[in-house]
Amino acid sequence: MELKSKNRIELMAPAGNFESLQAALDNGADSIYFGVEQLNMRARASINFTLEDLPEIAKRCSEKNVRTYLTLNTIIYDHDLTIVKTLINKAKAANISAIIVMDQAVIAMARQADMEVHISTQINITNIETLKFYAMFADTIVLSRELSLRQVKKITGQIEKDKIKGPSGRLVEIEIFGHGALCMAVSGKCYMSLHNYNSSANRGACKQDCRKKYTVIDQESGTEMEIDNEYIMS
């Protein structure tokens, strides 16, 4: 599916289950991104789809001319590689549009399967030289969420000026977050949840301790500190 105009913004929405998928389709999304069971950054934040759901997801979206992006954007260990290969092959068979990735092994496996690759915000691309490197593997780059609009504009301008192209031969496209939670760490590079609960944010299982209310007390004097924002880490 191609957007009608190269200057048109593609509106992408998350879909954690068929209810939210249908809501995205009914409200004009151009594309949706979603995880399947595990190995995505929302593994515990939603119900998530199963492998068996992939053909139905692709069918519903195809009928609405909506692109589908499967997220495989967590830290990957050796024991995950067989699962990754299965997910990629199933996505390919179901005609999923692209895979959003973080790990270099997943990039290689997706490219070998001739799947379109999008680079996840988890890689933290913040400058044009890093973007040029990943453009060798991907047609779409999701920039780091910490960039300002001015920084984003500079990068997009440089893409056009230097004619930076992805594997498809088209100019690299960028994606930015227009809405959503901003992690206290740099695009999710946080280990608080892992430390406290053995539940890794970088494996899609963040317990979001930073979004809780805390009281700050000076341990030397016992004085409670007055702060403007009670959510001191978020």
Judge whether residue 97 has pLDDT over 80. Answer: yes
Q: Do 71 and 154 lie in a common domain? A: yes
The residue-averaged pLDDT of 85-113 equals 95
Mean pLDDT of 104-130: 94
Domain-located, residue 81: yes
| 16 falls within a domain | yes
What confidence score (pLDDT) does residue 212 get?
77
The CATH code of the domain that includes 103 is 3.20.20.70
Q: By CB neighbour count within 10 A (0-12 exposed, 13-18 middle, 19+ buried), where does 177 fall? A: middle
* Better-predicted residue by pLDDT, 217 or 25: 25
127 and 198 share a domain? no
- Domain membership of residue 29 (yes or no) is yes
Instruction: Identify whether residues 152 and 201 lie together within a single domain.
Output: no
Give how many domains the chain has, as a whole number.
Answer: 2
Given 175, 193, 211, the domain boundary residue is 175
Question: Residue 122 is part of which domain span?
Answer: 12-175
Q: What 3-state class would DSSP assign to 165? A: strand
Residue 142 counted as domain residue: yes
Asked whether residue 193 falls in the same domain as residue 142, the answer is no
Determine how β-strand 173-175 pairs with β-strand 140-142. parallel
Confidence of residue 74 (pLDDT cuts 50, 70, 90): confident
Which residues, in sequence order, are CB contacts of 10 under 8 Å at separation 6+? 3, 30, 31, 67, 173, 175
Residues 107 and 128 in one domain: yes
- Domain identity same for 162 and 214: no
Confidence of residue 4 (pLDDT cuts 50, 70, 90): very low
Task: Examine the domain organization and report whether 16 and 114 are in the same domain.
Answer: yes
Residue 114 in any domain: the answer is yes
pLDDT at residue 132 greater than cutoff 60: yes
Amino acid identity of residue 229, one-letter, is N
Same domain (yes/no): 192, 169: no
* Cα–Cα dist 14/122, whole Å: 16
Task: Please tell me which residue, 234 or 225, carries the higher pLDDT value.
Answer: 225
Give the pLDDT band of residue 2 (cuts 50, 70, 90).
Answer: very low
- H/E run at residue 192: helix 192-197
Average the pLDDT over each of 82-86, 143-147, 197-201 and give the range with the smallest value: 197-201
Percent of the chain with pLDDT over 90: 55
Task: Give a yes or no: residue 89 inside a domain.
Answer: yes
Q: Is 103 found in the same domain as 161?
A: yes
- Is 63 part of a structural domain of the chain? yes
Taking the CA atoms of 147, 148, 153 and 158 in sequence, report the sign of the dihedral they define. Answer: negative
User: What average pLDDT does the structure give for the chain?
Assistant: 85
pLDDT band at 216 (very low <50, low <70, confident <90, very high): confident
Residue that finishes a domain, picked among 147, 175, 203: 175
With a cut of 90, say whether residue 136 has pLDDT above it. Answer: yes
Cβ atoms within 10 Å of 105's Cβ, excluding its own: 14
Residue 39 sits in the same domain as residue 127 = yes
d(CA 223, CA 218): 5
Same domain, 100 and 205: no
Would residue 5 count as lying in a domain?
no
On whether both 194 and 115 belong to a single domain, the answer is no
- The last residue of one of the domains, among 144, 175, 206, is 175
